[in-house]
Structure 1
Amino acid sequence: MSLSDNRHLNILVTGANGFVGSALVERLKAEQKFSVRAAVRRLAGLGRPQGADWIETGDLAALADWSTALQGIDAVVHLAARVHVMQDTAADPLAEFRKANVEGSLNLARQALEAGVKRFIFISSIKVNGEATAPGRPYRADDTPVPEDAYGISKREAEDGLRELCLNSTMEFVIIRPPLVYGPGVKGNFFSMMRWLDKGIPLPLASIQNRRSLVAVDNLVDLILACIDHPGAANQTFLASDGEDLSTPELLSKTAAALGKRARLLPVPPGVLNFAARCLGKTAAIQKLCGSLQVDIGKTRERLAWQPPVGVDQALRRAAQYYLETRK
């Protein structure tokens, strides 16, 4: 019996208390066809909403025991990971990423196969494709991966291991590579951007002419749901986005409008910004603001008959509203 034939599915979500994980658990709870087991590293101090079976699994490690979490599970959505950080303090970042993202993930996948799980959905990263795209040449799902940093390399190695594990087995895999994910409760650079705009800080970014793909958390969650039991998702790799690429000035202006503000953008030439970034050791940060990173979700649309359900403006309003309600 294929996964899509089941009327009711038991889903294990790892990293269930994270930004994407918490949104996914809420969405799964709202769907009558799913029962949710929410796996987290530690339960202590965690406010656990009703409607899901919460379970503590410890660290994502090569020797972790997932037998209890996997009992009776039809599909796994694996979100838990050692996440990318701009300033990694580990002595050997790649080794640390491999411990969790490769060894830990493949340990879970092997135990899932042994437990009879039918589908394993691995949330990877667009960093597997690379760090930047040339004008008019977006990344595609079937491009040869060229990861540049330790995080992207670890995600690619996990993908490769998962494909090999599932080859000629009873468990299907699905790989999803999202770019930057934003929405209510987002942290990191996107949160910092909203804070700058809310405070009216002038930003020297009016002259940037780039294109970047983003994905709203609601759109990513909707895609994950589609991949849980869609026959066309089996053993495939998909890219995710909102389907509407923005320049950095457009993103700043739209986000400011969602906050009820006006973006104060100054026309500083990109060459000046790049020079200043090199002097300050901030080249990577400026690349994210000035460079392009586009993804083509044509395969995702066609193979799954899927469209992003939430538009960029609506998604930015939701993120902004949450920020305004919770800012300190």
Structure 2
Amino acid sequence: MPNRIASGGLIALTGATGFIGQFLLKDMIRRGYRVRVLLRRPVNLHLEADSAIIGDLTHPQNMAEALQGVDAVIHSAGLAHAMSGMPEADYRAINTDATANLAQAAEKAGVRRFIFLSSIRAQSGPVSPTIIHDTSPALPTDAYGRSKLAAEQALAQTNIDWAALRPVLVYGNGVKGNMATLARLARSQWHLPLGGIQAKRSLLSVENLADAIDFLLRTEKPLRQSMIVADNEPLTIGEMIAAMRSGLNRPAGLIPVPEFLLKLGCRALGKQEAFERIAGSLVVDASTLRELGWQPPITTQSALAEMSKHFASDA
């Protein structure tokens, strides 16, 4: 039986209540897949899935019902890196052990492909002075990244056909955190002192992430590897703001304040770490996916402009 999953195949999706999971649920259905959501607890959200099953992957009793007839698993559930201060054991239990449990159950159930949403943080810290390639050493710097890398290593111990995607910062309608903050700044009427920051960061639109997952589901050849996924073009923070404001039909409004002055100001406000995350470089090369034949269908500029329109309409 081929590993590729055709339209009409049954996908088991975890994390369907999160930002990425909610988008994947709608997108996979739009692409013609049937989707069964695996939830830790009942929710009040309207989930347009083929079916839903409640269970706790950290204490699996019997996953046979959840995975019966499933062709592929998309595992997007887990503790996020933003949950700083969580004990390392919690990251290990939820991001590593639960992934291993699900993959082992999927293998027993005859699931043909397992797509795991790992993270670029399995390979790097929040910034990197050099471009990160698929073949670059995996050097996570925190509990979150270590738990994601350990999950990938657990997948490699199974016989199931798996792929671990290492996305960079994912953005799109409904995003939270730093990208939501940037979107709010872009909506403001202020001229922003961010034009002097030269470091670039790779980003990933949630639409491009979903397209990459669909591509891997439909790929004929066995995968069994980790791979970076990102939009094609890294941008400076000023270029991000300019793209968002273009979606609002407004000029960029950027002031080229020297970076060292911004750093001094953020240090005085106790925001030095946040500034370094924004101003630091993190550029990746997603060559493995490109060599398989995937190209992001949406440009970063157009996706940021569309996201900014959404934030404006929700204001």
Q: Normalization by structure 2: what TM-score?
A: 0.92
1:133 correspondence with 2:123: no
- Say if 1:289 and 1:64 are closer, same or farther in 2 by CA, change over 3 A: farther
Match of residue 106 from structure 1: 100
Letter in 2 for 1:144: P
Match of residue 179 from structure 2: 190
Cα distance in 2 for partners of 1:261, 1:65 equals 55
Cα distance in 2 for partners of 1:252, 1:231 equals 39
Superposed, 1:96-175 pairs within 5 Å as 96-131=90-125, 132-134=127-129, 137-164=130-157, 166=158, 169=159, 171-175=160-164
Cα distance in 2 for partners of 1:56, 1:10 equals 14
Letter in 2 for 1:146: L
- Say if 1:156 and 1:176 are closer, same or farther in 2 by CA, change over 3 A: same
The CA RMSD over aligned residues, in Å, is: 2.1
Percentage of identical aligned residues: 35
Local SS of the residue matching 2:285: coil
Match of residue 28 from structure 2: 28
Cα distance in 2 for partners of 1:10, 1:225 equals 13
Question: Conserved in 2, the CA contact under 8 Å of 1:57 and 1:66?
Answer: no
Match of residue 238 from structure 1: 227
Letter in 2 for 1:88: S
- Say if 1:6 and 1:324 are closer, same or farther in 2 by CA, change over 3 A: closer
Question: Conserved in 2, the CA contact under 8 Å of 1:198 and 1:261?
Answer: no
Q: Deviations over 1:183-214 (max 9, x none)?
A: 12212211111112212244332211111110
Unpaired runs of 5+ residues, structure 2, are none
Letter in 1 for 2:194: L
- Say if 1:7 and 1:18 are closer, same or farther in 2 by CA, change over 3 A: closer
* Deviation for aligned residue 1:265: 3.0
Q: Which moved more, 1:117-126 or 1:261-270?
A: 261-270
Letter in 2 for 1:106: A
1:75 correspondence with 2:72: yes
1:324 correspondence with 2:315: no
* Deviation for aligned residue 1:29: 1.2
Superposed, 1:45-60 pairs within 5 Å as 45-49=44-48, 52-60=49-57
* Deviation for aligned residue 1:16: 1.5
Local SS of the residue matching 2:132: coil
* Deviation for aligned residue 1:273: 2.9
Letter in 1 for 2:302: Q
Aligned residues: 314
Cα distance in 2 for partners of 1:196, 1:63 equals 44
1:228 correspondence with 2:225: no
Match of residue 310 from structure 1: 298
Question: Conserved in 1, the CA contact under 8 Å of 2:231 and 2:296?
Answer: yes
* Deviation for aligned residue 1:95: 1.7
Cα distance in 1 for partners of 2:93, 2:268 equals 34
Q: Which moved more, 1:197-206 or 1:116-125?
A: 197-206
